[in-house]
Structure 1
Amino acid sequence: MPATTSDGDHAEDQAGNELSLRKKIKNIISRYDVGSRYSNVPLQKASILLPLLIRQGRLYLLLTVRSMKLKNMPGDVCFPGGRWDPEDQDDVATAVRESEEEIGLSRSQVEIIGRLVPYITKSPVYLVTPVVGIVEDTFEPLPNPNEVTAVFYVPLDFFISTDHCTLLDLNMHPFGMFRMYRYIYQDAETRKDFNIWGLTANAALLLSVMLLEKGPSFDQEFDLEKRIQTSEKFILDYNNLSKL
């Protein structure tokens, strides 16, 4: 008789594959983790959580839509996060606290695996640190209506393979040209279109290139290491200019 695979064997294989994928993710992020390297930069601090979920062997990113009640960027797509609070121990604490306040994600439901090179926003000026975490796939978002109007999930490979991406080259005076990205993502369940751009799009793209280990099909000039070096130089140059 031909061998058959029981539900128990399938579940065991799936658990083993997820464990292997988790290990791979951690190993990759450890190569890019900046830790507290930029904690002494004299700028207002903020953090965002890049929440990864593993579903049937595929990686997804959780994103939110900001409430129209908010003064800054109402209706924009973003990652959970916000400003540093005096009670926060570090960038990670900020990202975790804000995620719990916005979507009900408790600390026990996310495994923090690293911090990536921060971004400097222009108006208002903040040093924003992306914190990478793996969220339990059983997590059910509880959006705070005062801050979040929707939560949705995007397959990680969307950010490197989609045809729905626009490239924007902006002059970030006095630091030169900087390439930005704008995605239009249609949620398969709701059929709603989401406009993902700015810092959110750039953070999603960088994380996707890191973890999937391939560049975006729509930007042949993309160089991950150069992109990271440019971001680090931007912080250093900004810090030096602020001392003049």
Structure 2
Amino acid sequence: MQALINKLRIKLNQPLPGAQAHNLMSPKLSTGNRVNFKFDKAPRKGAVLILLYEKEGEIWFPMIQRPLYDGVHSGQMALPGGRYEETDGDLKVTAMRETQEEIGVEPGQVGVIGHLSEFMVSASNHLIVPYVGFSKEIPRFIPDEVEVDEIIEAPLSQLLDKSRLKEKEIVTAHGYRLHSPYFDIQDKVVWGATAMMLSEFAAIIEDL
């Protein structure tokens, strides 16, 4: 675990794969184009956390499944995180606060290693910074009753397993039919923005 953390600290301070890795998991219309969302307002800032910990001789990380609701990310798999608030001061605090609120992991348990490329979630008009952190202990997860339907713990090995890269048609909340790559992780379909951010993380890990 410590060897991985040390390598990640170095790698995350170097030029990142960014859009090249994101595009590998980008959903597209039948025309081959991405959906072009237009908003009148500037994007809201936010942050998510990829939290690494060791369990059963492997490195794991948690994801959440959103509940069904009237919104663009209804029922989707996601990384813990959310919108920046002025009281946060910076986006790293946002990632820690939202992680505590959604899955019960306190900021004091998390050592932040660095962050991935800034990512635009076009469907909901959010500009997200994905942080990477670690816990020396196996976290005790407590799901938020409103925002989290289920917490899914996933071994990092599944993210790196090429046989789990699949494709399917997905109908979005807006009614778009998208041809989408996805990660088959713990029998969950991880697609869209979350898959695109995880694609960059996988590319970095593979290059260590």
Which TM class, normalised by the smaller chain length? 0.7 to 0.9
Task: Work out the CA distance in 1 between the residues paired with 2:13 and 2:194.
Answer: 21
Task: Work out the CA distance in 2 between the residues paired with 1:121 and 1:20.
Answer: 32
Task: Work out the CA distance in 2 between the residues paired with 1:145 and 1:70.
Answer: 17
C-alpha deviations, 1:66-115, integer Å up to 9, x for none?
Answer: 12257442211100011111111111111111111101111111111112
Q: Which residue of the partner structure matches residue 14 of structure 2?
A: 31
Aligned residues: 173
**More helix by proportion, 1 or 2?**
1
Runs of 4+ off more than 3 Å: 69-72
Secondary structure at 1:92 match in 2: helix
Letter in 1 for 2:98: E
Contact kept? 1:166, 1:183, Cα under 8 Å: yes
Secondary structure at 1:112 match in 2: strand
- The question of 1:208 aligning with 2:191 is answered no
Task: Work out the CA distance in 1 between the residues paired with 2:56 and 2:11.
Answer: 20
Rg larger in structure: 1
Q: Which residue of the partner structure matches residue 21 of structure 1?
A: 4
TM-score, normalised by the number of residues in structure 2: 0.74
Identity level (%): 24
Two-structure CA RMSD over aligned residues (Å): 2.4
C-alpha deviations, 1:175-211, integer Å up to 9, x for none?
Answer: xxxx96312223xxxxxx2110011112112112212
Unaligned runs of 5+ in 1: 1-17, 34-41, 169-178, 187-192, 215-244
> What are the within-5 Å matches in structure 2 for residues 100-119 of structure 1?
100-119=100-119
> What are the within-5 Å matches in structure 2 for residues 119-134 of structure 1?
119-134=119-134
Task: Work out the CA distance in 2 between the residues paired with 1:113 and 1:85.
Answer: 22
Secondary structure at 2:13 match in 1: helix
Deviates more, 1:100-109 or 1:113-122: 113-122
Q: Which residue of the partner structure matches residue 96 of structure 2?
A: 96
Q: Which residue of the partner structure matches residue 66 of structure 2?
A: 66
